[in-house]
Each structure stands twice: as C-alpha cells, then as structure tokens.
Chain A
Amino acid sequence: MTALLEATDLVRVYTGRQGLFGKAAPVRAVDGVSLRVMPGETLGIVGESGSGKSTLGRMLLGVDPAQGGTVRFGGTPMPERATPAWRALRARMQMVFQDPLAALDRRLTIAAQIREPLEIHRIGDARARAARVGELMQAVGLRPDQAGRYPHELSGGQRQRVVIARALASGPELLVCDEPVSALDVSIQAQVVNLLRELQREGRRSMVFISHDLKVVRNLCDRVAVMYLGRIVEEGPSELLFARPRHPYTRALISSVPEPGRPLDGRVILQGEPPNPAKRPSGCAFHPRCALATDVCRNTVPELRQTDPEQTAACHHADGTAASRAA
C-alpha cells in the first residue's frame, strides 16, 4: 500500500536575529524530518514548544514551503505553493487550528463559513451546498438552528466543531490538526476528542495530530513521532511507544504527565530547559539534559535507527541495556 503522505528529509530554516542590530543567525526549526502517513492512519506528533511540530504540520500541507526535502501526497510530489494545482490539492488536505476564534471570521455566520470551502473548490450547486452544510453540522454535533449564529455566540467547544466541519467540507483525505483541543475545558475536550475518533472510524481519512498533550495523543493516534529541537527522536506505534519508550526524552515526557493516583516522587524530572534552537548543542541535542549522556552523545549526532520491529529511536543508548539501566 502506498503512503498517502510521505515526507522525506524536510528542512525549514528561519532567520533569527539576536537583538535589533544583531547578526542574523539561522534557526533550523525543522531539521531533516522524514515521515509517512498511510491511508486511514492517524500519526501523532508530540514535543515541547519550539520543537518544530507546528512548522512541520504546515510544511506537510505545503503552506510553509520546505527549504529542503520533498513531500509526496498520494504518490505524487506536492505542487509548488500558491499554484492552481496546489490550490486544487488543498481540497484533499485540510487543517484544524488551536484557537477556533482566531480561525473563524467573526462577521460571517457559521453556515457561511462551513460553506466557503465548497464555494472555493466549486463543489456542487447552491442546493447541494446547503444540504452538505446541514450534513456537516449534524456530523460534528451542531444543531440546525445554530446555522445563522456568529462565532462569538458559540462556546469554545462549539467553535472548534465549526472549524472541524469547515475542514471536512471538501471531503479531505488528510486532516492536519494542530493542538485542536488544547484550548478547551476537560469535559468539552472529551467531546471533541470523541468527535475526532468518530471521524477516524467512519472513513479512510488520515490524520496528523499535533499536540503537547500525551494523554490525548495516546487516545487518538495509531503511531506517534516525538520531536526534539526540529528532529524526530523516537517513532513507533502509540501502544508500544507509551508502554516501552526507548529514548530518554520520551521517557521523561511520559513521566512528566501528572496523573491522578500517581505520586510525585519517583518521576523522572528533567533538569534544565529545552535549548534554544538557534544554539543547538553539539552531538545529540538532548545530551545536556540527559542522565545517560556519555562522550559519544556530546560528539556524534545519533541517527534514527530501529530498536524494535516497529519502533525507531535516535539515541546512542537506546539498546536494551541502557533502557533497563534507566528504568
């Protein structure tokens, strides 16, 4: 089976400046990322702020141009950004953002906003579009009488449903969700997570789910990629990755999630802060915070290599001995 989305060696460099007149320094936000999403599969991308996960999400859709590497969608290379071919392709891949109020136009009713992608991509006539809007609203759990409302008249969870309905309007095969539930309250978050689960189940729709919330990612994703400073440091099926993380960073991330009933002591608490992407440490970028770091970590960048049949990790000490030593 061919992958729906295949990214190879993606690179995105921003030019950062130290101070107003400082020297421009390149910041490698995404630094050689390769990944594949199969049809119907959900890939989770986790990492802390500044790890490049949102930039990567935009690059996968071609919204943010890649400076290196390629993205293939449905087996063919992604057309250049802002060309007619790329615009046509955008009907097949859509994005859901974190802040629904910012993603919606506050002067348009929600029905008009859900209809917009249909108009842009010239799908159906007026009657078919109206019917489709009704269908979509029902699918995401909005009431028909809410069609004429404006975004500010809805609650946060309802707004996120509008954003999801709009993203689904053109019947995309790929949905990239960037922190779609992070701004929502616990009870509402569960409603939206369940909605996304239903969407996964009902069609062969692939999803890239970007989030810092490991609990939500584990609940939704088939496979998970962990990012640290612009690189994937571990990837695997989500059940395995959470049960048996191989990279020390993944272990620390999982350990740092506060869970009711799990005591504070005995957790791996990472020292230090995520380093500045403009000043990437030599060798393994994680070594200054890593308890297992040795000389080889300070000097040599670890390659992503297979640790288990379906799991890969970029760590010099990811073999069985180091993992058991840390555990």
Chain B
Amino acid sequence: MANLVEIRDLRVAFDGVPVLHGVDLEVAPGEALGLVGESGCGKSVTWLAALGLLPSKASVTGRVQLGETDLTGAPQSALETVRGGRIAMIFQDPSSALNPVLKIGRQLCEALRLHRGLTGAAAKTEALRLMDLVGIPDARGRFRLYPHEFSGGQCQRLMIAMALAGEPDLLIADEPTTALDATIQAQILDLLARLRAEMNMATVFISHDLGAVAQVCERVCVMYAGRIVEQGSVGQLFEHPRHPYTRGLFDALPRLFGPRTALVPIPGTVPDPRNLPGGCAFQPRCAHAQPFCQSALPDLLPQRDGRKLACAYPLPERGQGGERQAAREGVFQ
C-alpha cells in the first residue's frame, strides 16, 4: 500500500544551527506511529517543519510528500487546505490552543465551515455530533460555553473534536496528555485509540512517555539529537531494544511493580545542538561506545528482524548471549 506521508531527508536549521539532521519517515494509511525522545530531540520540529508551521528564520530542506502532493515549497494556500483538512495537529496545552474569547460552538463551526463548507444548522448538528464523539457530556447544553468553563481534559477533548472537523487522514498528537492528570490521561489515550479504530485515521503520537506510546502505537521511532536512532514495531523495540539509547530510556524509568531498585540513569545530558560531539551524537553518554563511535556517524540501517538501527555496536540480537534475559527482565519488571 502506498504511504500516506513520506518524509525524505528533512533538515531544519535555526539561525544556521542544524537541529534536524536528515529524517526519513513514512506513515501508512491508518497506522499509529509513535515518536519518542527527550526534549530538544526534534520530534515536534519534524512535524512542524513538514506542515510549514515553523517561523521564517528556520531553514527547511528535504521533501515531504502527502499522497501526490509535495508539501515542501508548496504555496501557503495549498498548505492551508492540507492543515486541518488532511493533516490535523493537536498540542500539549489545549487551553492555550483554543480562542478564549469565542464560544466553543462557534470555534467548532468555524473549523467545519473552513474544511467542509458546512454552515448554519448543518454545521451545528455536526459540531454537536463531534462533541458527543469525543465524550463531552451534555453537548447541547455546553455548546455556548467559553473554553475557560471546561476542564483541562475536556479542552483536550474539544481540541480533538476540532481536529476531527476536517475529517483528516492523519492526526498528529504532540504530547496530548502531558499536561493532564493521570486518570484523565488514561481517558484521552483511550479516546485516541478508539477514534483511530473507528475513523481509520492514521495517528502520529509524539511523546516522551514510553508507556503511553506503547499503548496507542504500532510502530515507534526513537529520536536523539535530531536523528532517528531506532525504528521498529512496538513489540520489537519495547521487548528488546537494541540501540543503547532506547535501552537507556527503559532502564531510567521507575517501575510500578517488582522490586524497588536504584534507577539506571543515562549519564550526562542531551548535547547542545550548537556543539554536537563528533561521530555518533550519543557516544559521550553511551556505555557501549568504542573509539570508532567518536569518528564515524552511524547510518540508520535496516536489520534482519525488520527494524532500523543507527548504531555501530548495538545490543546483541534476540537469542544471542545472556543479555536477552536481562533485557526482558529490565523491561517487564
């Protein structure tokens, strides 16, 4: 099947400082893809660049293909029909993404008018249906309320409703549950998983929360310092991470069950994009690094089991040596 979105060699630089170093990414129709990494690794920038949402001081090169359309260098008018129409995006802080001085109903109707040409009663009916769909109780009674009259979790539901207004093929959710309480986070994750199944809409889920990604995604890309370092199915990556950084992210997570032990942090900090180390960007923090890693930048190469990996000395494959058991215990404690 043809890919819905194909990103090839996407590079972004702010004021001449490169922050994204050639990202290749594809999203299949209906697929749920997770993008994981720490702050500053470029997971949000990838999609902001793809949709032309970065400020003009950013220089973007590469190719972003949506079906037959090439989005890079496309005129603003073309991008405007794509954004919200074919690709919708929701953000971390829903209350700042909604207009505080407009009633919710009006904001939803505006999205419906722009993307579907619905007006008047038809728009209102559809807006109410969307509010129902995302689980806003008493949609009719709350149609005329302002954003501040809704809680954080409900504002995020409304954002999702607005994103769905254009019947997009792809929903990009950028840390959609980070600002929410644990019980509300569970509700929103559940909602996103349900909507994707019902509407057969591809989802890109950007998050630093490995647990949340594991629950809603099928495929995961792990990013570090502006590059994808490991890519594979959720099962592959979470049961048996092979890039030392992916493994490090798991080891650094405290566990909810099992014995309480000291965490295994990744030493050091994420490198400054103005001052990247030579060779592999993760090498100064990596316990497996060899002198070779300081000089050569590993490419993201396909592996036998179907995943892609950018590491010269990865953790052994499944079934090789004693590490396997240790890795499983580490991940599933």
Task: Answer whether residue B260 sits at the interface, using C-beta atoms and an 8 A cutoff.
Answer: yes
Tell whether, in the assembled complex, residue B265 and residue A190 are in contact, meaning their CB atoms are under 8 Å apart. Answer: yes
Tell whether A189 pairs with B252 under 8 Å between CB atoms, given A258-B209, A258-B214: yes
Partner of A258, one of B212, B263, B267: B212
Tell whether, in the assembled complex, residue A273 and residue B154 are in contact, meaning their CB atoms are under 8 Å apart. Answer: yes
Considering only residues 76-111 of chain B, those with a C-beta below 8 Å from chain A are: none
Considering only residues 213-269 of chain B, those with a C-beta below 8 Å from chain A are: 214-216, 238-239, 248-257, 260, 262-267, 269
A258 to chain B, nearest CB (A): 3
A41 to chain B, nearest CB (A): 15
A51 to chain B, nearest CB (A): 9
Task: Answer whether residue A155 sits at the interface, using C-beta atoms and an 8 A cutoff.
Answer: yes
Residue of A nearest to B328 (CB): A261
Interface magnitude class on chain A: 35 or more
Q: Give complex CA distance A219, B332 in Å.
A: 16
Residue of B nearest to A289 (CB): B183
Tell whether, in the assembled complex, residue A260 and residue B262 are in contact, meaning their CB atoms are under 8 Å apart. Answer: no
B226 to chain A, nearest CB (A): 15
Task: Answer whether residue A274 sits at the interface, using C-beta atoms and an 8 A cutoff.
Answer: yes
For B186, list chain A residues within 8 Å (CB).
255-256, 258, 267, 269-270
Task: Answer whether residue B190 sits at the interface, using C-beta atoms and an 8 A cutoff.
Answer: yes
Q: Give complex CA distance A185, B223 in Å.
A: 14
Tell whether A260 pairs with B269 under 8 Å between CB atoms, given A190-B252, A194-B263, A269-B190: no
Tell whether, in the assembled complex, residue A218 and residue B256 are in contact, meaning their CB atoms are under 8 Å apart. Answer: yes
Task: Answer whether residue A202 sits at the interface, using C-beta atoms and an 8 A cutoff.
Answer: no
Tell whether A215 pairs with B238 under 8 Å between CB atoms, given A185-B208, A193-B263: no
Task: Answer whether residue B294 sits at the interface, using C-beta atoms and an 8 A cutoff.
Answer: no
Tell whether A215 pairs with B269 under 8 Å between CB atoms, given A258-B186, A258-B209, A261-B331: no
Tell whether, in the assembled complex, residue A264 and residue B216 are in contact, meaning their CB atoms are under 8 Å apart. Answer: yes
Task: Answer whether residue A295 sits at the interface, using C-beta atoms and an 8 A cutoff.
Answer: no
Partner of B215, one of A185, A242, A263: A263
Produce 1/0 per residue, A108-130, CB < 8 A to B: 00000000000000000000000
Tell whether, in the assembled complex, residue A186 and residue B183 are in contact, meaning their CB atoms are under 8 Å apart. Answer: no
Q: Give complex CA distance A194, B267 in Å.
A: 12
Task: Answer whether residue B4 sits at the interface, using C-beta atoms and an 8 A cutoff.
Answer: no
Tell whether A256 pairs with B215 under 8 Å between CB atoms, given A187-B252, A219-B260: no
For B266, list chain A residues within 8 Å (CB).
187, 190
Residue of B nearest to A46 (CB): B182
Task: Answer whether residue A291 sits at the interface, using C-beta atoms and an 8 A cutoff.
Answer: no
Task: Answer whether residue B210 sits at the interface, using C-beta atoms and an 8 A cutoff.
Answer: yes
B296 to chain A, nearest CB (A): 24
Task: Answer whether residue B59 sits at the interface, using C-beta atoms and an 8 A cutoff.
Answer: no
Q: Give complex CA distance A257, B253 in Å.
A: 12
Q: Give complex CA distance A242, B259 in Å.
A: 12
For A252, list chain B residues within 8 Å (CB).
183
Task: Answer whether residue A139 sits at the interface, using C-beta atoms and an 8 A cutoff.
Answer: no
Considering only residues 226-256 of chain A, those with a C-beta below 8 Å from chain B are: 239, 242-243, 252-256
Those 3 A-B pairs whose CB atoms lie nearest each other, nearest first: A258-B211, A190-B265, A187-B266
